[in-house]
Structure 1
């Protein structure tokens, strides 16, 4: 299974998001620390889920990092996290 699919599956199962987008940005980091041949080392996650409502940003990010603990200890070098507000028209209009 690809790293993209692993991230998507784990975060979907853990947070039941209203919206989730997993973007492989590895090609933007060619030659930088952590980059490996074949990519799948640098990702951006955009997610909206009621799970994050009312939690401070640090707690939101910690929850995601805990869900992806094994991946972060392995091939996944960098993860950018964008927590989106749940139930906005922009988010609801985009399917998971």
Structure 2
């Protein structure tokens, strides 16, 4: 049993000692080793990633997250609706809207 990952060479964490001995440090190395065997190519280990070209620019920042999209079908408040300032006003609005729907 080896104490290092067969793909990237990092130290393996000790297991309970039962079953098949570990060969890889994780699923990523196990899958990369499998791909290397399938392709027959010399796939580089994770630690030997090629450097980025000088022309590469960092990823652009994501735009600020906006609120939810307006609902279809006219449900919910629209821009001209007055917002109720109390529970009683809210209930009056609900009753008024419900009677209009009938």
> Could you say which TM-score interval applies, normalised by the shorter chain?
under 0.3
Select the structure with the greater relative contact order (CA < 8 A; seq sep ≥ 6): 1
> Taking structure 1 as the reference length, what is the TM-score of the superposition?
0.20
Normalized per residue, which structure has more helix? 1
Normalized per residue, which structure has more strand? 1
Higher Rg: 2
> Taking structure 2 as the reference length, what is the TM-score of the superposition?
0.19
